[in-house]
Structure 1
Amino acid sequence: MAKFKGVSPRGNSIQISFTWNDHRYRETLRWEPTPKNLKMANSLRQSVIYDIDRGVFDHVEYLKKFPSSSKAKSLVKSQADFLTIDVALWDWLKNKRSYIERSTLRDYTSAIKHHLSPRFGLLTVNQLKAKDVKEWLAKLSISNKRKNNVITPLRQCFKELYLDEVIEQNIMDRVPNLSVSSREPQPFTQDEIDLILITLSAQCTDNYRPLIEFAFYTGLRTSELIALHWSDIDFQNARMEVKRARVRGVTKEPKTSSGRRFVDLVPEAINALESQSMHKMLNIDEVFYKLEKSAVFKDDQYIRKAIWTPALKAAGIAYRSPYQTRHTYASQLLSKGANPLYVANQMGHADWGMIRKVYGKWISNL
């Protein structure tokens, strides 16, 4: 029978021994000491040694490798008495880095750096109380939606600490998300649409009418609009494929399978594309870009500040966000009797539940 260092039979079990932080640890595996099981025990021990050498072996990893170990459980419980929330949050974010979108990583980093660590960072994970979080949220002078976003890293971090048995209870389960009132859609009337487009047409140079007209008659999100390529357009079948979006300068695929979709092009949208084709450039794949700089849009900021807001002001129309072009598209289709499921597919929703909830009053047969 082969012998392995730190692995030895003990009656009907196998004992593994290793040194960590200058302490000797022994763990008993309830495995029959067969040659195959001894080899498996050695592989387990080698993985422990490897993690120790890399400096990544800790109380949580100890428990993961030896889930029945009373020693590991006692170490994990004691860890909660000295693990600070600051360390826990940054460790959690480090582990999540490769699994989340760059824009999400940026938001989480900001929430931890500017809100969570300054307020709770010095507390240990055992010291935080639900009451502390609720009182802090009540004093924050930001919207409820923003508050919910800010505590998301804390909520997810504590959930993992609980699942890893670092803490005995998850106090964040007693901190409900704050209610967020949904804003009523404020679609533009046809007269308002026409006035906005006429105002944009009156610009002597850098005419952005095609961009705004296309937004009104396709319902694309701005992130999808600025990432649209000419190769995505099928003029022959009067449709386009939405298969990417750009957020904060990063181009990515839609978050959901329903987000990647084909959208039918009505005559007004075709007209906008034909007008935009006059600005088509060989070195730019995007349909819409910054005309004066011959550069792609990184996000919606330039459109909102330099194009949209001045156009509404010049037209004498009360300000509404560019997202209302999407609401306008949906409400117009539904008012004309379009099938709600068809509208949902056009807009990238998995089903028509959202359409019913948001645009119910524009659906004639509800």
Structure 2
Amino acid sequence: MGSGNGVEIREKSIRLFFVHDGQRCRETLTVAGKPALPTAANIKYAHRVAAEIRDKLRHGTFVLAEYFPDSPRAASAGPATTERNFGQWCALWLETKGRLAKNTLSQYGNALAIWQSLLGADTPMERITHATVAAKVGSYPWKSAKLLNNYLIPLRGVFALAGRELKAENPMEGIENSKHQAAAPDPLSTGEMERILADMRERFDPRVHAYFVFAFLTGMRPEELIALRWGDVDWNHETVRVERARTAGELKDLKTYNARDVDLVADAISALQAMKPWTFMGGPDAEIFQNPVTNRPWHDERSQRDHYWTRA
């Protein structure tokens, strides 16, 4: 009759399907020892059970006999085990970092996906040794030493978390960061800044020009600029209060965790005046700078960089 999210609705029963120990399982849901009829209440219950099973499979705590005691697979499964594999420990570590910014979590998730492809998501933790990790670190074609160092951060976290429970030797012991030297700063000269802004004034929407004028003359980070509101402007003292940032559409704390006031020179104030026709009537809680394509606040710092800064 229909299926989805691990639930298969049949004419006179409901089956749950999932992958357990590398095998595809289709088990009939029972209520009070009898096959559950496909009523609305039982279908809702089936989706809840399916979600529980997916969660326990992800954490390595699923026991087939607890849900399907009459299943032939339950009889042959042997003693239950709660040992997690590497992929499950990665998922658990990410859950412990749920308070981090969405963008940071996404980066950690991407890094751990690479490590799972290198070390094997299904590999038991006790089989991952120092030599195994060192070999992968040394042989993988990392784009840069800095990228490798960033990717080692969540990997160390996973093994540290697992080590507390398993009381096992940490295979990350002795895996050091790669040495890298950042390129020396090469700031634009005043003349170069003026040429870029002149090009932007000629080719782009005035809102783009105002954004980059303000960026140049305040030194604010892009994620701070796009979160700046009219209520943050002190016209009398010619300052703005910086106390929030936005990354990937999500408000977050400042990198320094401290709000600060930024003095405004005359051209920076002019950039604010240029934005008034578009966003000022939104009130003190309205963001100042706006994407001219969407007529909404900038979602993140990438769009203005990719579509305007790079072109200029």
| TM-score, length-scaled by structure 1 | 0.58
SS at match of 2:240: strand
Query: In 1, Cα distance between the equivalents of 2:204 and 2:225?
Result: 24
In 2, are the aligned partners of 1:197 and 1:213 still within 8 Å (CA)?
Answer: yes
In 1, are the aligned partners of 2:207 and 2:289 still within 8 Å (CA)?
Answer: no
Q: CA deviation at 1:82?
A: 5.1
SS at match of 1:227: coil
The unaligned stretches of length 5 or more in structure 1 are 1-54, 59-79, 312-366
Query: In 2, Cα distance between the equivalents of 1:91 and 1:280?
Result: 43
The unaligned stretches of length 5 or more in structure 2 are 1-55, 60-80
In 2, are the aligned partners of 1:249 and 1:299 still within 8 Å (CA)?
Answer: yes
Question: Moved runs in structure 1, 4+ residues, more than 6 A?
Answer: none
Query: In 1, Cα distance between the equivalents of 2:212 and 2:255?
Result: 24
Map 1:60-75 to 2 at 5 A.
none
In 2, are the aligned partners of 1:144 and 1:178 still within 8 Å (CA)?
Answer: yes
Query: In 1, Cα distance between the equivalents of 2:209 and 2:308?
Result: 9
In 1, are the aligned partners of 2:149 and 2:177 still within 8 Å (CA)?
Answer: yes
Q: CA deviation at 1:267?
A: 2.3
User: Cα RMSD over matched residues?
Assistant: 2.9
What's the counterpart of residue 151 of structure 2? 150
Q: CA deviation at 1:301?
A: 1.8
Q: Which has the larger radius of gyration?
A: 1
Query: In 1, Cα distance between the equivalents of 2:119 and 2:178?
Result: 19
The superposition leaves residues 93-118 of structure 1 with CA deviations (integer Å, 9 ceiling, x where unpaired) of 22332x32222221222222343355
Query: In 1, Cα distance between the equivalents of 2:221 and 2:159?
Result: 34
SS at match of 2:269: helix
SS at match of 1:103: helix
Q: CA deviation at 1:224?
A: 0.6
The superposition leaves residues 245-301 of structure 1 with CA deviations (integer Å, 9 ceiling, x where unpaired) of 11111122214323x211111223222222222433534811111124211111122
For structure 1, which segment, 195-204 or 179-188, has the greater mean C-alpha deviation from structure 2 after superposition? Answer: 195-204
The superposition leaves residues 63-93 of structure 1 with CA deviations (integer Å, 9 ceiling, x where unpaired) of xxxxxxxxxxxxxxxxx99542122221222
- Percent identity reads 27
**What letter corresponds to residue 308 of structure 1 in structure 2?**
W
Number of residue equivalences: 235
Determine if the alignment matches structure 1 residue 228 to structure 2 residue 228.
yes
**What letter corresponds to residue 123 of structure 2 in structure 1?**
L
Query: In 2, Cα distance between the equivalents of 1:194 and 1:204?
Result: 15
Query: In 2, Cα distance between the equivalents of 1:214 and 1:206?
Result: 12
Map 1:217-256 to 2 at 5 A.
217-256=217-256
SS at match of 1:172: coil
Q: Higher strand proportion, which one?
A: 2
The superposition leaves residues 191-246 of structure 1 with CA deviations (integer Å, 9 ceiling, x where unpaired) of 11111111122237445221111111111111111111111111111111111111
Query: In 1, Cα distance between the equivalents of 2:88 and 2:293?
Result: 47
What's the counterpart of residue 190 of structure 1? 190
